[in-house]
Amino acid sequence: MDFENKVVIVTGGTRGIGLETVKAFYENKATVILFGSREETVNKAVEELKTENINIEGYYPNLNNYEEVEKVFQEIHSKYGHIDVLVNNAGISQKGPIENIKAEEFESIMNLNVNALFNTSKVATKYMKEQGKGVILNTSSMVSKYGQPSGVGYPTSKFAVNGLTLSLARELAPFNIRVNAVAPGITNTDMVKSLPKEMITPLIETIPLKRIGEPRDIANAFLFLASDMASYITGVVLSVDGLARS
């Protein structure tokens, strides 16, 4: 795949799936811009990538502040002249029974996992419409298919991600802007690495492909959906989960 001269923004690019997505696009010649939540973590990720000969820029706008998002996109657009691909990847999860979840906690998960996507997608749409093309990719989850037995905010937010994906895909198709999502299964990021083996082994047994996903599995799906090979694909939530959703 060739993303030469394409500008790709990846939110939540400092670690896990986002960081691997940054690397994958860079390896395929894209100009990649990483967003993270804090200056410190963004600088650390950018410096670490430099040691791997990956030279990219990082920003840390508050994704829930529309004006801040607008300003950063404006800065990127005036520097490169176009914004081709937006990967909305930043997200947080939630644990516990509903009685233990505070209203503010429910609100904060919806803020990052859903409202932030509205902000970045709205700003990106403006530039993509001017260009007459663009790709917006969202990160859903396998739990967006059937819910989960605790932490109600997380699957609720990912059902909303699917809704936003399908609706924006319909709205933006006439402007040659494709909108798709990837729904990862359990993926080997820091969160999963910290879980005890006794918990992971039985989980793997329930996955038909008998392994958990690697961040590169998800990054590859983003690459494909962003590429011209997927030029007739929009409004899709692509499961990348070893069939764990069933």
Site residues (CB under 6 A) for ligand NAD?
12-18, 36-37, 41, 63, 89-93, 112, 139, 141, 184, 186-187, 189-192
DSSP 111: I
Of the two residues 127 and 154, which places its CB atom closer to ligand NAD in the complex? Answer: 154
Contact 96, 150 (CB under 8 A): yes
Minimum CB–partner distance for residue 153 and ligand NAD (Å) = 11
Q: Give Cα separations from 160 to 52, 195, 228 (angstroms).
A: 36, 27, 27
Q: 245: buried, middle or exposed (CB in 10 Å: 19+, 13-18, 0-12)?
A: middle
- Strands of 134-139's sheet in order across: 57-59, 31-35, 7-10, 85-88, 134-139, 177-184, 237-240
Of the two residues 14 and 31, which places its CB atom closer to ligand NAD in the complex? Answer: 14
Of the two residues 113 and 125, which places its CB atom closer to ligand NAD in the complex? Answer: 113
| Whether residue 127 lies in the annotated active site | no
Minimum CB–partner distance for residue 194 and ligand NAD (Å) = 11
Contact 80, 56 (CB under 8 A): no
- The tokens describing 212, both together, are 């958990």
Q: Which of 59, 66, 154, 232 is catalytic?
A: 154
Minimum CB–partner distance for residue 115 and ligand NAD (Å) = 11
Of the two residues 107 and 228, which places its CB atom closer to ligand NAD in the complex? Answer: 107
Minimum CB–partner distance for residue 85 and ligand NAD (Å) = 16
Phi, psi of 124 (to 5 degrees): -60, -40
* Residues taking part in catalysis: 154
